[in-house]
Amino acid sequence: MTSKNRKMSSYRPVVRLAVLSLLICGLLFPLLITALAQVFFPYQAGGEIVQLNGASIGSNLIAQNFNLSARARQVFFQERNDSASGFDPDINMTDAYSQIPRISDATGISPDSLKAIVDQNEEGTFWIFGSPYVNVLRINLALIKAYPTIYNSSVLIG
């Protein structure tokens, strides 16, 4: 056996191990985890899609830019514009409270009632880390459910 053949034969186990690792870690393991997630946690694995009147309106996990009319933009809480990714579905309590006067003026809902809805939808953080926040989609759904005559389909469409 020449030194070139010996050298090539010493690489074969390394190449086999690399290909085997790639198949296991890059293909089989992700497929297994995805399948288990779909079986045991279908709502979460499917993106936590929120339904309203039978229609999918968004996800609890990512902020959406809906094609809302100018009126609808005035009557709903809006996500932050300063989010690093632009996809943050939550706003801090200060941002939520700062939007109450605009929504109150546009809808006629009292600021105290809007503040109560914000407070009811406050979500905590882990122990002492971070600040309390609200999910924009959840708080807007709470408004739709609490005030169906104000938030009818004509407001959403334009």
When mean pLDDT is compared across 21-25, 45-49, 146-150, the lowest value belongs to 45-49
Whole-angstrom distance, CA of residue 51 vs CA of residue 66: 14
User: What ranges make up the beta strands (E) of 27-155?
Assistant: 49-52, 55-59, 90-92, 133-135
- Computed on alpha carbons and rounded to an integer, the radius of gyration of the chain in Å comes to 25
pLDDT tens readout for residues 83-142: 666 667 888 899 999 999 999 998 899 999 999 999 999 988 777 777 888 988 889 889
Whole-angstrom distance, CA of residue 7 vs CA of residue 96: 67
Average pLDDT, the chain: 83
Whole-angstrom distance, CA of residue 146 vs CA of residue 156: 15
Is this structure's pTM higher than 0.85? no
